[in-house]
Amino acid sequence: MTNERRSPWAAGLLSLVIPGLGHVYNGEPGLGLLAYLSQPVLFAFGNILFFATFPGTVAVLTLLLALYLGIAVHAALRARRLGEVSLRWYNHVAVYLLVGVGVSILGGLTFKHVVLPALRYRTFQTAAASMEPTLQIGDHFIVDTWAYRKQPPQRGDLIVFRFPNDPARDFVKRCVAVSGDVVAIHDKQLSIDGQPVAEPYVTHVDPEVLHDTGLSPVAVRDQYGPEKIPPGSCFSLGDNRDNSYDSRFYGSVRPDLLEAKALYVYWSKNGSRMGRRLR
Protein backbone atom coordinates (compact mmCIF):
# COMPACT_ATOMS: atom_id res chain seq x y z
CA MET A 1 0.00 0.00 0.00
CA THR A 2 1.48 3.33 -1.07
CA ASN A 3 2.15 6.04 1.50
CA GLU A 4 2.04 9.68 0.52
CA ARG A 5 2.11 13.02 2.28
CA ARG A 6 -1.09 15.03 2.20
CA SER A 7 -0.98 18.66 1.11
CA PRO A 8 -2.64 21.07 3.58
CA TRP A 9 -3.50 23.37 0.67
CA ALA A 10 -5.19 20.58 -1.26
CA ALA A 11 -7.12 19.44 1.82
CA GLY A 12 -8.32 22.97 2.54
CA LEU A 13 -9.30 23.72 -1.05
CA LEU A 14 -11.18 20.44 -1.44
CA SER A 15 -13.17 21.24 1.69
CA LEU A 16 -14.03 24.65 0.26
CA VAL A 17 -15.45 22.89 -2.80
CA ILE A 18 -17.43 20.38 -0.71
CA PRO A 19 -17.18 20.47 3.09
CA GLY A 20 -15.64 17.20 4.26
CA LEU A 21 -13.96 16.29 0.97
CA GLY A 22 -10.62 17.47 2.36
CA HIS A 23 -10.94 14.96 5.19
CA VAL A 24 -11.63 12.19 2.66
CA TYR A 25 -8.44 13.30 0.89
CA ASN A 26 -6.68 12.92 4.24
CA GLY A 27 -7.90 9.32 4.52
CA GLU A 28 -10.58 10.13 7.09
CA PRO A 29 -13.91 9.48 5.34
CA GLY A 30 -15.86 9.19 8.62
CA LEU A 31 -14.69 12.63 9.70
CA GLY A 32 -15.48 13.91 6.21
CA LEU A 33 -19.05 12.63 6.39
CA LEU A 34 -19.48 14.23 9.82
CA ALA A 35 -18.17 17.54 8.48
CA TYR A 36 -20.46 17.38 5.45
CA LEU A 37 -23.59 16.69 7.52
CA SER A 38 -22.83 19.31 10.17
CA GLN A 39 -23.92 22.23 8.00
CA PRO A 40 -27.39 20.96 6.98
CA VAL A 41 -28.02 19.92 10.58
CA LEU A 42 -27.13 23.41 11.83
CA PHE A 43 -29.26 24.97 9.09
CA ALA A 44 -32.27 22.79 9.94
CA PHE A 45 -31.89 23.55 13.66
CA GLY A 46 -31.61 27.27 12.95
CA ASN A 47 -34.55 27.23 10.54
CA ILE A 48 -36.87 25.77 13.15
CA LEU A 49 -35.77 27.88 16.12
CA PHE A 50 -34.10 31.11 15.01
CA PHE A 51 -35.24 32.25 11.55
CA ALA A 52 -38.35 33.89 13.01
CA THR A 53 -36.30 37.06 13.55
CA PHE A 54 -33.78 38.89 11.40
CA PRO A 55 -31.05 38.88 14.10
CA GLY A 56 -31.58 35.13 14.56
CA THR A 57 -31.20 34.52 10.83
CA VAL A 58 -28.02 36.61 10.67
CA ALA A 59 -26.59 34.72 13.65
CA VAL A 60 -27.27 31.30 12.11
CA LEU A 61 -25.88 32.31 8.70
CA THR A 62 -22.77 33.70 10.40
CA LEU A 63 -22.31 30.41 12.25
CA LEU A 64 -22.78 28.49 8.98
CA LEU A 65 -20.07 30.58 7.31
CA ALA A 66 -17.75 30.11 10.30
CA LEU A 67 -18.40 26.35 10.24
CA TYR A 68 -17.75 26.20 6.48
CA LEU A 69 -14.39 27.95 6.83
CA GLY A 70 -13.58 26.04 10.01
CA ILE A 71 -14.02 22.70 8.25
CA ALA A 72 -11.55 23.76 5.56
CA VAL A 73 -9.02 24.98 8.13
CA HIS A 74 -9.40 21.79 10.16
CA ALA A 75 -8.82 19.64 7.07
CA ALA A 76 -5.66 21.61 6.27
CA LEU A 77 -4.36 21.29 9.83
CA ARG A 78 -5.14 17.56 9.88
CA ALA A 79 -3.20 17.11 6.63
CA ARG A 80 -0.18 18.81 8.18
CA ARG A 81 -0.33 16.74 11.37
CA LEU A 82 -0.93 13.39 9.68
CA GLY A 83 2.19 13.54 7.54
CA GLU A 84 2.26 10.43 5.35
CA VAL A 85 -0.95 8.39 5.03
CA SER A 86 -1.72 5.10 3.36
CA LEU A 87 -3.55 5.81 0.11
CA ARG A 88 -6.95 4.19 -0.27
CA TRP A 89 -8.94 3.38 -3.37
CA TYR A 90 -10.77 6.69 -3.09
CA ASN A 91 -7.59 8.80 -2.99
CA HIS A 92 -7.67 9.64 -6.69
CA VAL A 93 -8.56 12.84 -8.54
CA ALA A 94 -11.22 11.02 -10.59
CA VAL A 95 -12.97 9.88 -7.43
CA TYR A 96 -12.92 13.41 -6.00
CA LEU A 97 -14.50 14.71 -9.21
CA LEU A 98 -17.17 12.01 -9.19
CA VAL A 99 -17.94 12.67 -5.53
CA GLY A 100 -18.12 16.41 -6.19
CA VAL A 101 -20.51 16.05 -9.12
CA GLY A 102 -22.60 13.35 -7.42
CA VAL A 103 -22.96 15.23 -4.15
CA SER A 104 -23.83 18.45 -5.98
CA ILE A 105 -26.57 16.81 -8.05
CA LEU A 106 -27.96 14.62 -5.27
CA GLY A 107 -27.75 17.42 -2.72
CA GLY A 108 -29.52 19.84 -5.04
CA LEU A 109 -32.35 17.41 -5.78
CA THR A 110 -32.72 16.47 -2.13
CA PHE A 111 -32.89 20.12 -1.08
CA LYS A 112 -35.43 21.02 -3.77
CA HIS A 113 -37.79 18.06 -3.36
CA VAL A 114 -37.32 17.00 0.27
CA VAL A 115 -35.77 19.74 2.41
CA LEU A 116 -37.34 22.87 0.90
CA PRO A 117 -40.99 21.71 1.20
CA ALA A 118 -40.35 20.77 4.85
CA LEU A 119 -38.73 24.05 5.91
CA ARG A 120 -40.65 26.18 8.38
CA TYR A 121 -39.12 29.47 7.26
CA ARG A 122 -38.74 30.07 3.55
CA THR A 123 -37.83 32.97 1.31
CA PHE A 124 -39.86 34.84 -1.29
CA GLN A 125 -39.15 37.80 -3.54
CA THR A 126 -41.53 40.64 -4.38
CA ALA A 127 -42.09 40.83 -8.14
CA ALA A 128 -44.84 43.47 -8.34
CA ALA A 129 -45.71 46.87 -6.89
CA SER A 130 -49.09 45.85 -5.43
CA MET A 131 -47.81 45.86 -1.83
CA GLU A 132 -45.88 49.12 -1.91
CA PRO A 133 -44.77 50.78 0.27
CA THR A 134 -44.79 47.81 2.67
CA LEU A 135 -43.01 45.58 0.15
CA GLN A 136 -41.05 47.07 -2.71
CA ILE A 137 -40.17 45.40 -6.00
CA GLY A 138 -37.10 43.23 -5.49
CA ASP A 139 -37.51 42.86 -1.72
CA HIS A 140 -36.61 39.42 -0.40
CA PHE A 141 -38.60 38.39 2.66
CA ILE A 142 -38.93 35.51 5.11
CA VAL A 143 -42.24 33.70 5.63
CA ASP A 144 -43.48 31.23 8.26
CA THR A 145 -45.08 28.22 6.55
CA TRP A 146 -46.33 26.84 9.89
CA ALA A 147 -48.18 30.02 10.90
CA TYR A 148 -51.63 28.80 9.86
CA ARG A 149 -51.41 25.14 10.80
CA LYS A 150 -53.44 25.63 13.96
CA GLN A 151 -55.07 29.02 13.49
CA PRO A 152 -56.45 31.01 10.54
CA PRO A 153 -55.03 34.34 9.38
CA GLN A 154 -55.81 37.43 11.43
CA ARG A 155 -56.81 40.82 10.10
CA GLY A 156 -53.68 42.70 9.13
CA ASP A 157 -51.53 39.63 8.40
CA LEU A 158 -49.44 39.66 5.25
CA ILE A 159 -50.27 36.30 3.69
CA VAL A 160 -48.63 34.29 0.93
CA PHE A 161 -51.02 32.10 -1.03
CA ARG A 162 -51.46 30.35 -4.35
CA PHE A 163 -53.29 32.50 -6.86
CA PRO A 164 -56.87 31.10 -7.13
CA ASN A 165 -56.90 31.38 -10.92
CA ASP A 166 -53.45 29.82 -11.33
CA PRO A 167 -52.22 27.86 -8.28
CA ALA A 168 -48.72 27.64 -9.78
CA ARG A 169 -48.25 31.34 -8.98
CA ASP A 170 -47.69 32.78 -5.50
CA PHE A 171 -49.25 36.05 -4.36
CA VAL A 172 -48.57 38.14 -1.28
CA LYS A 173 -51.35 40.43 -0.01
CA ARG A 174 -52.76 41.73 3.25
CA CYS A 175 -55.63 39.89 4.92
CA VAL A 176 -58.18 42.62 5.73
CA ALA A 177 -61.24 40.52 6.56
CA VAL A 178 -61.74 36.99 7.86
CA SER A 179 -64.42 34.32 8.05
CA GLY A 180 -67.82 35.81 8.91
CA ASP A 181 -66.83 39.44 8.34
CA VAL A 182 -68.95 41.58 6.03
CA VAL A 183 -66.54 43.52 3.87
CA ALA A 184 -67.38 46.58 1.77
CA ILE A 185 -65.51 49.35 -0.03
CA HIS A 186 -67.14 52.70 -0.71
CA ASP A 187 -65.18 55.44 -2.49
CA LYS A 188 -61.92 53.63 -1.65
CA GLN A 189 -62.79 53.40 2.06
CA LEU A 190 -62.70 49.87 3.48
CA SER A 191 -65.29 48.92 6.08
CA ILE A 192 -65.82 45.73 8.09
CA ASP A 193 -69.30 44.98 9.46
CA GLY A 194 -70.32 48.53 8.59
CA GLN A 195 -67.42 50.17 10.47
CA PRO A 196 -64.67 52.12 8.60
CA VAL A 197 -61.21 50.60 8.98
CA ALA A 198 -58.13 52.76 9.57
CA GLU A 199 -55.35 51.54 7.27
CA PRO A 200 -52.16 53.58 7.81
CA TYR A 201 -50.21 51.16 5.59
CA VAL A 202 -52.36 51.87 2.48
CA THR A 203 -51.39 54.24 -0.31
CA HIS A 204 -53.63 55.60 -3.09
CA VAL A 205 -51.82 56.69 -6.23
CA ASP A 206 -54.90 57.53 -8.30
CA PRO A 207 -57.02 60.46 -7.05
CA GLU A 208 -59.93 59.45 -9.30
CA VAL A 209 -62.75 57.54 -7.62
CA LEU A 210 -64.28 54.97 -9.95
CA HIS A 211 -68.04 54.38 -10.01
CA ASP A 212 -70.01 51.57 -11.60
CA THR A 213 -71.55 52.87 -14.81
CA GLY A 214 -72.65 49.44 -15.97
CA LEU A 215 -70.03 49.57 -18.69
CA SER A 216 -66.80 48.86 -16.81
CA PRO A 217 -66.20 46.17 -14.17
CA VAL A 218 -63.07 47.93 -12.90
CA ALA A 219 -65.22 50.05 -10.58
CA VAL A 220 -64.92 47.28 -7.99
CA ARG A 221 -61.51 48.78 -7.29
CA ASP A 222 -63.23 51.62 -5.40
CA GLN A 223 -66.76 50.28 -4.88
CA TYR A 224 -67.21 46.75 -3.56
CA GLY A 225 -69.74 44.68 -1.64
CA PRO A 226 -71.03 44.35 0.92
CA GLU A 227 -70.04 40.70 0.94
CA LYS A 228 -69.77 38.13 3.75
CA ILE A 229 -66.51 36.20 3.85
CA PRO A 230 -67.03 32.40 3.58
CA PRO A 231 -65.96 30.07 6.44
CA GLY A 232 -62.21 29.60 6.68
CA SER A 233 -61.47 32.17 3.96
CA CYS A 234 -59.98 35.64 4.09
CA PHE A 235 -60.32 38.75 1.95
CA SER A 236 -56.94 39.98 0.68
CA LEU A 237 -56.01 43.44 -0.61
CA GLY A 238 -52.79 45.07 -1.74
CA ASP A 239 -51.45 48.03 0.22
CA ASN A 240 -50.93 49.86 -3.08
CA ARG A 241 -54.70 49.90 -3.23
CA ASP A 242 -55.20 51.54 -6.65
CA ASN A 243 -52.65 49.27 -8.31
CA SER A 244 -53.39 45.80 -7.00
CA TYR A 245 -55.08 42.76 -8.45
CA ASP A 246 -56.62 41.16 -5.38
CA SER A 247 -59.80 39.77 -3.79
CA ARG A 248 -61.88 42.57 -5.26
CA PHE A 249 -61.37 40.83 -8.62
CA TYR A 250 -60.94 37.11 -7.82
CA GLY A 251 -62.80 36.74 -4.53
CA SER A 252 -61.79 35.53 -1.09
CA VAL A 253 -58.75 33.30 -0.57
CA ARG A 254 -59.76 29.75 0.35
CA PRO A 255 -57.92 28.07 3.26
CA ASP A 256 -56.46 25.37 1.00
CA LEU A 257 -54.59 28.06 -0.93
CA LEU A 258 -52.85 29.58 2.10
CA GLU A 259 -49.11 28.96 2.26
CA ALA A 260 -47.47 31.23 4.83
CA LYS A 261 -47.33 34.44 6.83
CA ALA A 262 -44.78 37.07 5.75
CA LEU A 263 -42.50 38.13 8.62
CA TYR A 264 -39.67 40.48 7.63
CA VAL A 265 -37.47 41.74 4.80
CA TYR A 266 -34.05 40.11 4.90
CA TRP A 267 -32.59 41.64 1.73
CA SER A 268 -33.43 44.77 -0.22
CA LYS A 269 -31.85 47.16 -2.71
CA ASN A 270 -32.54 49.76 -0.05
CA GLY A 271 -30.26 48.66 2.77
CA SER A 272 -32.27 50.53 5.39
CA ARG A 273 -35.18 48.13 4.78
CA MET A 274 -33.22 45.02 5.72
CA GLY A 275 -34.61 43.50 8.89
CA ARG A 276 -37.88 45.46 8.68
CA ARG A 277 -40.84 43.64 10.22
CA LEU A 278 -43.83 43.33 7.91
CA ARG A 279 -46.89 44.76 9.59
Alpha-carbon distance of 186 to 101, in angstroms, equals 60
- The predicted model gives 262-276 an average pLDDT of 94
- Parallel, antiparallel, or unpaired: how do β-strands 195-196 and 140-144 relate? unpaired
CATH code of domain 122-273: 2.10.109.10
Give the ranges where the chain is alpha helix by DSSP (H): 8-17, 21-25, 29-49, 54-82, 93-110, 116-118, 247-250
Q: Could you state, in order of their start, the residue ranges of all structural domains in the chain?
A: 3-119, 122-273
Instruction: Provide mean pLDDT across the span 35-63.
Output: 93
- Which pLDDT score is estimated for 244? 95
Q: How far apart are the first and last CA of the chain?
A: 66
Residue 216 confidence (pLDDT): 60
Arithmetic mean of pLDDT, 247-268: 96
Task: Please pick, among 173, 188, 247, 252, the residue that the annotation labels catalytic.
Answer: 173
> Looking at the predicted structure, is the pLDDT value of residue 214 above 70?
no
Question: pLDDT tens-digit profile of 72-126?
Answer: 999 999 999 987 777 777 677 677 777 777 777 777 777 676 677 788 999 999 9
Q: Is 150 a catalytic residue?
A: no
- Exactly one of 130, 236, 244, 247 is catalytic; name it: 130
Residue 173: active-site member: yes
